[in-house]
Amino acid sequence: MRKRIFHILEPSNKKDLSHYFDLFIMAMICLSVVDIILESEATLRAKYGNWFQYFEVCSVVTFSIEYGLRVWTCIEKKKYASPFSGRIKYMTHPMALVDLIAILPFYLPFVGIDLRFLRILRLFRIFRVLKMARYSSAFNLIRSVFKEKKEELLVTSVFIVIILIIISTLMYYLEREAQPDHFSSISKSLWWGIVTLTTVGYGDVYPITALGKALGGIITLLSIGLIALPSGILASGYTEQIIRRKESKRKNDKKENL
């Protein structure tokens, strides 16, 4: 029975019971997220508050059963084969933690958690949308891209942080006398650096001295290409993954035809 339930819980592309279970859980996730969003509207909450609560209970019960069954059946995988340590290892897996976070806020009032803290934790219900990653090939594709390109992204991120610190420091020394409120320290100058490097430019903090404007103009032009680096890395990785999957599918189709 445990093995059968394990295969039902695992994502499947075939038109079997596992596939329909995946569709059911995905529908519950989507409806739960919609429920959380609509509940935040005061007028809807006042009128349909009971219905929101009923569906919340229904969804939590569903996700709780799913989580319990996953913990129970995870030892069917070789890496979680040990009945005790294997289950502990599974429970610390990122996707298992997402499953736990999705239901935890509902149960905390029963253990006497402070209500102010509870209101903050209730925001974690929106993390239920991350459960979709287990059932969506698109999420898996994005995860593969990040995993494959993590070194390039790390190097690029470190480079951007270094540039951010340098330009914020330079702007601090150029603008601190003219604008002591906005550029009173390097840490405050970092806000200007972030909105400039990301080309957002809110306009709340900007240089007014001649040298400051010159530096700001150079950094604005530089940021267009600088911030595009991570996007380029992810785009190339995404393309490589798609090509690789298409080739793998083509090879599998040839084997089946043979």
User: Mind listing the pLDDT tens digit for each residue in 99-137?
Assistant: 888 888 788 777 665 555 555 555 666 666 667 666 666
Residue whose tokens read 């019960």: 61
pLDDT for 195 equals 87
Radius of gyration over alpha carbons of the chain, in Å?
25
**What local confidence, expressed as pLDDT, does residue 101 receive?**
82
Asked if 50 and 57 count as a contact pair (C-beta separation under 8 A), the reply is no
Tokens 């903050």 belong to residue? 120
pLDDT in tens, 54-73: 998 999 899 999 999 999 99
Spatial separation of the C-alpha atoms in residues 152 and 157, rounded to whole Å: 9
Residue in 63, 71, 74 with CA at minimum distance from that of residue 99: 63
Residue 138 has a pLDDT of 66
Residues of the chain with pLDDT under 70: 13, 111-130, 132-138, 256-258
Are residues 174 and 215 in contact, defined by beta-carbon separation less than 8 angstroms? Answer: yes
Between helix 2-9 and helix 17-39 the angle, nearest 10°, is 60
174 touches 211 (CB < 8 A) = yes
In angstroms, rounded to a whole number, what is the distance separating the alpha carbons of residues 80 and 101?
A: 21
Is residue 66 a contact partner of residue 9, using CB atoms and an 8 Å limit? yes
Distance CA 46, CA 178 (A): 52
Quickly tell me which residue has 């951010």 as its tokens.
164
pLDDT the model gives residue 250: 80
* Residue reference for tokens 């006042």: 46
All structural domains of the chain, each given as residue ranges with its CATH number in brackets, are 2-135 (1.20.120.350), 136-258 (1.10.287.70)
- pTM for the model stands at 0.62
